[in-house]
Structure 1
Amino acid sequence: MSVQTGFAPFVHHLGQGPRRVLALHCTLGFGGAWNGMAKVLGDRLHFIAPDLPSHGKSPDWDGQSDFPATVYDTTLALMDDAPMDVIGHSFGAVTALRLAARAPEKVRSITLIEPVFFAIAKADAPETLADHDRVAMPFTQAAAAGNMEEAARAFNRMWSTEENVWNTLPERSRAAMTRGIHVVPSTYALLYEDTDGILAPGVLGGLDMPVQLVRGELAHGAIAATLEGLRDRIPGAVLDVIPEAGHMAPITHPQAVAEVFERVLARA
């Protein structure tokens, strides 16, 4: 798999604490989205939070290289020699899971917030994935038609608990999401087909670092099935549900997510 030549992500540094955390954001987000949690935990933690390609202040994805491989390789290069705590949200959580599976010596603990690793839902509860794909149809159709702004609007609506949230966003935010939306189809093989072999026998069962799983109370059924499948496959994994939260819990409910995160840090 080809990695984008010369790509170097922009990295946000949040908090002044002594313990370093690698924090990986969701698609259409940016590294600064961890600021709410950093405000809660910043005297104890230092968040190292890279922007994805075509997101935030990072350079654009070239559209030719393997997007997930570029994200994985450049993220791994940011890690310390000593094991780090890793927290990820949505696609960032899938990258975090790959780091734990492929470079466990680098990972002190792992916290996965609503990972979109739908290969698990596909295997365990395919009806939930069919429902997700039905909800995603407006995005899928807009992206196929090349209407990137409409695709970004539809994608944003999929993962929001608010109606018409797109219309309330500043133009700058809408433009940033439209800029990044083209990366989404490039993730499908990894997310749906498990092209990295994470579900191969012995991979998840061999994880021995503390593993914390998190979802919002309002999570989509495919997300709930994915997290339940991870809990069943990873020895000792703990699943917590954030009351009244949807997919964007790290942003909408930073205090509650921070409290869960503190518990896994205490176990590591």
Structure 2
Amino acid sequence: MMGSGRAFDPMARRLGGKVDLTAFDLPSHGRSEAWRPAGGEDYHTTVTRIAEGLLGTGPVDLIGHSLGGTVALRLAVAAPQRVRSVTLIEPVLFAASRSGHALDNELAALAAAGEMEAAARLFLSVWGAPGGFKALPCSLQQAAVELMPLVLETDAALSADVHGILRPGGLEAVAAPTLLIAGAESPAVMDEILDTLAARLPNAQRATVPRAGHMVPVTHPTEVTALVAGHLGRR
């Protein structure tokens, strides 16, 4: 969210062709077309459907960051037999935490008041790269403001788990080796999320990248790629 598939370029280069990687721009991001709700499908379902269409026929290694981590987990729960390994980097499935997404009400209030730039500043101060909104070039600041409605649209999927990722027996059926990666300086809610996932996924391991926050695959690609490479060798 608020990025592009190019965020995985550093990982692709460091893996040196050990695996074939397919990364895509989310709808309304990068070179993808703008997202338009169709047939009652929410944004999370649209992204999941696109990702599912790229899986192919054989077992796959799913790697997802942030929103993408929740999509990867949704795919794994829906079809565990198609998954060879799972890597979840800071998956923002707030429904798995005790405290939930502390920004939900504040962001909703700002949006209701038409203060989308203030909402983007607040969102990126917690879930963005170091420096937050003010560190972005002007063009990306404007893009972040324009994308805030999509951030708000995912609330039901991430905070209320309307798609049942956490349904009884769902995570327990994912037997594939699963790596849960967090940044040591990420918001405390991330530890709560990963605690829940680690307790229920039968073959899960955790890793923490020191001095990193939520955008760890972008800010610390060397450390993250080393963890991913080791995990892929374990599968």
Match of 2:175 among 185, 202, 208: 208
Determine whether 1:175 maps to 2:149: no
1: CA distance between counterparts of 2:192 and 2:90?
A: 10
Aligned residues: 233
Closer, same or farther: CA 29–161 of 1 in aligned 2, 3 Å: closer
Aligned to 1:33: 7
Is this contact kept in 2: 1:112–1:212, CA < 8 A?
yes
**For the residues of structure 2 that align with 1:142 and 1:45, how far apart are their CA atoms?**
43
Q: 1:182: Cα distance to partner?
A: 1.3
Q: Tell me, in whole angstroms, the C-alpha distance in 1 between the residues paired with 2:123 and 2:184.
A: 20
Give, in whole Å, the separation in 1 of the partners of 2:4 and 2:145: 13
Letter in 2 for 1:149: E
TM-score, length of structure 2 as denominator length: 0.92
Tell me what 2:27 maps to. Answer: 53
Q: Tell me, in whole angstroms, the C-alpha distance in 2 between the residues paired with 1:182 and 1:160.
A: 16
Aligned pair partner of 1:150 in 118, 131, 147 = 118
Distance 1:189 1:216 in 2: 25
1:81 equivalenced with 2:57 (yes/no)? yes
Percent identity (aligned) = 39
Q: What is the identity, as a one-letter code, of the residue corresponding to 1:159? A: W
Secondary structure of the residue aligned to 1:46 is coil
Give the gaps of 5 or more residues in structure 1: 1-26
Checking the alignment, whether the CA contact within 8 Å between 1:189 and 1:195 is kept in structure 2 is yes
Structure (1 or 2) with the greater strand fraction = 1
Please point out which of 230, 237, 244 is paired with 2:204.
Answer: 237
Shift in Å at residue 167 of structure 1?
2.2
The Cα of 1:63 is off from its aligned counterpart by 4.4
What is the CA–CA distance in structure 2 between the aligned matches of 1:63 and 1:200, rounded to whole Å? Answer: 25
Ranges in structure 2 where 5+ consecutive residues have no aligned partner: none
RMSD: 1.8
Looking at structure 1, the residues matched to 227 and 9 of structure 2 have their Cα atoms a distance apart, in angstroms, of: 16
Please report the TM-score for the alignment, with normalisation by the length of structure 1: 0.81
Q: Secondary structure at the match of 2:23?
A: strand
1: CA distance between counterparts of 2:153 and 2:104?
15
Per-residue deviation, 1:238: 0.1
2:72 equivalent in structure 1: 96
Task: Kindly report structure 1 stretches of 4+ aligned residues shifted beyond 3 Å.
Answer: 135-140, 160-163
User: How far 1:159 sits from its partner (Å)?
Assistant: 1.4
Structure 2 equivalent of residue 111 of structure 1: 87
Pick the aligned partner of 2:127 from 130, 154, 159: 159
Rounded Cα–Cα distance in structure 1 between residues aligned with 2:215 and 2:16: 20
Contact 2:126 2:187 in 1 (8 A): no
Is the 8 Å Cα contact of residues 107 and 152 (structure 2) preserved in structure 1? Answer: no
The one-letter amino acid paired with 2:46 is T
Deviates more, 1:66-75 or 1:135-144: 135-144
Equivalent-residue separation in structure 2 for 1:54 and 1:108 (angstroms): 30
Deviation at 1:99, TM superposition (A): 0.6
Structure 1 position 139 matched with structure 2 position 115 = no
User: Residues 131-188 of structure 1, C-alpha deviation per residue, up to 9 Å, x if partnerless?
Assistant: x41x56553332222333332222111214634x322321222233223221112211
Query: Structure 2 CA distance, aligned partners of 1:142 and 1:252?
Result: 29
Question: Residues of 2 paired with 1:154 and 1:63: CA distance?
Answer: 26
